[in-house]
């Protein structure tokens, strides 16, 4: 990594220590600047949901109606 290069790592704050998910590949004692950005539970799934992430309650209602309709169909025994 060069002086001006930045890389993003995910980690967990434990007191005054940030435990990273992966090693940054820097020597111990290396001077770094840390920018803290909070993540909320569910951020990952929302990011992977694409345009559905901001669909709101109407999407939940539509999906619930589809699920209800799917479960209300009676099965027919085939000979």
- Residue 22 has a pLDDT of 92
C-alpha dihedral, 49 to 52 to 53 to 59, nearest 10°: -130
22: which residues sit within 8 A by CB, 6+ positions away?
9
CA distance 10 to 33: 15
Distance CA 70, CA 35 (A): 47
- pLDDT by 10-residue block (mean), the chain, 79 residues: 75 90 91 84 74 77 87 71
């Amino acid at each position: 990594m060069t002086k001006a290069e930045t890389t993003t790592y995910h980690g967990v704050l434990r007191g005054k220590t940030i435990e990273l998910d992966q090693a940054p590949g820097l020597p111990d004692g290396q001077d770094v600047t840390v920018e803290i950005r909070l993540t909320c539970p569910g951020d990952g799934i929302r990011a992977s949901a694409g345009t559905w992430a901001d669909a709101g309650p109407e999407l939940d209602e539509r999906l619930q109606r589809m699920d209800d309709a799917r479960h209300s169909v009676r099965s027919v025994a085939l000979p």
